[in-house]
Amino acid sequence: MGSSAPGLVRFNRVGERDALVLLRGVCASEGWARSVLGGRPYVTRDALCAANDAAVAGLSDADLAEAMAGHPPIGRPGAGDPASAREQRGMAGASEELKAEMLELNLAYQEKFGHVFLICATGLTGERMRDAVKERIGNTPEREREIVRTELGKINRIRLARLVDELAEAPEEELAEAPEEEGDR
């Protein structure tokens, strides 16, 4: 992710409450968001990525479940969720047969593991996503939890890069720091 950038400087300046909102848009886990927030200020994008990696590695099972709950099933990005729609673009042009197969596989996966199939779908075709769920459905829950943790880390890195880029392009008035309330610290 490289060296310090205007968006990273802005991320460091955003008030705590607003930064938590931004981070929860990257990952639904409050534990992850608070961990990354606690590492500010970040001098480089690489430091921000390292904080993501450490936060993901440190997620409890409950935090990991909270993070996964923020991700829609592959092939069905939520309305008003442009990040997931962008990330799952490979399913957009998939045949109806492939979409139906993914639905079945998603349901079987959820039944076995108790959560959505999570994969860093950016740049993957629908066929590659299907092949991955077919391969991973045979994993033990312990093995799958570690794969999910790795995939979540990749997704978060992509989303953090986009967040920093968007902050760099945002008009200054949109970034005015709101006063912190007593309970925000």
pLDDT digits (tens, 9 = 90+) for 126-169: 999 999 999 999 999 999 999 999 999 999 999 999 999 999 98
Count of domains in the chain? Answer: 1
Is 181 contained in some domain? no
**How many of the other CB atoms lie within 10 Å of CB of 101?**
18
| CATH value at residue 39 | 1.10.3330.10
- Whole-number pLDDT of residue 178: 40
- Look at residues 130, 65, 135, 143 and name the one whose alpha carbon lies nearest to residue 103: 130
CB 160 within 8 A of CB 26: yes
Structural domain boundaries enclosing 139: 6-173
Is 1 contained in some domain? no
pLDDT(80) > 70? no
Distance, in Å, from the CA atom of 42 to the CA atom of 47, rounded to the nearest integer, reads 6
**Taking the model in full, what pTM does it have?**
0.86
- Whole-number pLDDT of residue 98: 93
- Look at residues 48, 41, 43 and name the one whose alpha carbon lies nearest to residue 16: 41
Instruction: Give the tokens for residue 24.
Output: 């929860």
Question: What DSSP designation does 44 have?
Answer: S
Task: State pLDDT tens for residues 20-69.
Answer: 999 999 999 999 999 999 999 999 999 999 999 999 999 999 999 999 99
What residues contact 80, with CB distance under 8 A and at least 6 apart?
A: none
Is 42 contained in some domain? yes
Is 183 contained in some domain? no
User: 103 to each of 107, 111, 166, how far by Cα in Å?
Assistant: 6, 12, 33
Is 150 contained in some domain? yes
Q: pLDDT band for position 185 (50/70/90)?
A: very low
pLDDT(2) > 60? no
